[in-house]
Amino acid sequence: MSLLTPASEVIQRHLEHFTDRHVILAGDIQDELGSILDAASVRVLTNQYHRWQNLHPLMGDNVNFSATVPADFMSDCDTLIYYWPKNKQEACFQLDDLCTYLKAGSQIFIVGENRSGVKSAEAIMEGIATLQKIDSARRCGLYYGELEQPTTFDIARWWRRYEEEDVQIHALPGVFSHNELDIGSNLLLATLNEPMKGKVLDLACGNGVIATVVGKRNPDVTLTLSDVSASAIASATATLEANQLTGKVIASDAYSNIDEQFDWIISNPPFHDGLNTSYNAVENMIYQAPKYLKKGGRLRIVANAFLPYPDMLDKAFGGHTVLAKTGKFKVYEATKR
């Protein structure tokens, strides 16, 4: 059993509420509380593939990896424990979805770290459930209410569409660069003007904009896109389709589901896990990259200039070059010898 997050420790102070309830946990789940919670039944919905990987051996089909709720997954649930994410719009999207499948009178618990903005849950749920703060501990707040008015979820209302370089970008809430192309990706794309060929992996692909621009500039490349986020997988798939491109889009925690070698690995990698700064994913991405590159294959990433990636690249590849930089970002490249 992994250590519980502060949010789950707050939930543990209220276990008497759950013993005879059919509970679903959803939102920004960061631990394995769902596998040990004492309740009539427990299900977990996560849009993070690595969380599903951890929980599936413990919970089997009672944990689901998806951007939205499968129709029959929570049909018996009468209690929701929702972990507040750092992205407010993602919370609105997920709660709109979840509250469509709960019956009126169902119990709703919303928990999150104070710095995440969880206090806005009261306003967001207005007209759906009247929430009250029932606990405050470990720098977290816990809110409770009963569902008064189930929602009617329509995913079409949540898609964001915009255009960059004649590329149509589609994204769901919570996906990086949801509303506009971020500065780092823009800098990375500016370095990808040379002809590219062979197999290209866009790792931590987000909405798929990097791979899509590469594919439009280089029609003969073979594209593979991967991400841990189910919402990113759905977004990248929609972006490829909108631009009449084909590619393989897969859920993978770094290289966990990758079993081939590439001519290029490109990425604007994340350095946060939920609210917390974490270099684990990027370390894994860099140190294992040579295994997934052909001889002469190249890894190209963009990152905040302050992050400690040059030393990692030198250890993994024996050297690196800086292709572009601004006051905030740098684009690094390393080649497998």
- Encode the chain (337 residues) as per-residue pLDDT tens digits: 458 999 999 999 999 999 999 999 999 999 999 999 999 999 999 999 999 999 999 999 999 999 999 989 999 999 999 999 999 999 999 999 999 999 999 999 999 999 999 999 999 999 999 999 999 999 999 999 999 999 999 999 999 999 987 899 999 999 988 888 899 999 999 999 999 999 999 999 999 999 999 999 999 999 999 999 999 999 999 999 999 999 999 999 999 999 999 999 999 998 645 455 556 778 889 999 999 999 999 999 999 888 889 999 999 999 999 999 999 999 999 999 9
d(CA 325, CA 313): 17
Answer CATH for 159-336 from 3.40.50.150, 3.30.1330.60, 3.40.720.10, 3.40.50.720: 3.40.50.150
pLDDT for 165: 78
Contact 203, 228 (CB under 8 A): no
Q: Please give the model's pTM, rounded to 2 decimal places.
A: 0.94
d(CA 263, CA 107): 51
- Measured at the CA of 28, the angle between CA 25 and CA 34, to 5 degrees, comes to 30
pLDDT for 162: 94
Residues ≥6 apart with Cβ < 8 Å to 254: 203, 281, 284, 285, 288
pLDDT for 279: 62
Length of the chain: 337
User: Do the two domains 6-155 and 159-336 of this chain adopt the same fold?
Assistant: yes
pLDDT for 180: 82
Topology given in CATH for the domain delimited by 6-155: Rossmann fold (3.40.50)
pLDDT for 2: 54
pLDDT for 29: 96
Domains in the chain: boundaries: 6-155, 159-336
Tokens read off for 53: 């990987």
